[in-house]
Amino acid sequence: MTPPQDTKTIAEQLCQFARTNFVAEGTAFDEHSPLAETGIDSFALFELLLYGERTFGVRVPPSHLTRSNLASVATIACCMAELAGSGRQSPLDCKPGSCERDPP
């Protein structure tokens, strides 16, 4: 496990993991690709989150498992970076406080 880095680095590593394990060869895929439209199902999404937890030491709690946080690799990376407290912005337009939680 390595400490979390900036959002862009987290997104790049999550993208590489997804491309290697879930995305069909020849499918256009980047950090902004909607996961639901690229063939990543709920089981693959869970594996992606576990990979992030093992790699960056960041657990995404159930309260943060929202549709908007899980829409793309970019939104997952943004949420992970925020949860890790890195607070650094990246070219992915992640703003502090943008990681959504389910309403109480």
* Domain covering 7-84 in this structure, CATH number: 1.10.1200.10
Question: Which pLDDT value is given to residue 89?
Answer: 38
Q: At what angle are helices 73-84 and 7-21 packed, to 10 degrees?
A: 130
Enter the pTM of the model. Answer: 0.81
Q: 21-70: per-residue pLDDT in tens?
A: 999 888 899 999 999 898 899 999 999 999 999 999 888 999 999 999 99
Q: Where are the domains of the chain?
A: 7-84
CA angle 90, 46, 83 (to 5 degrees): 40
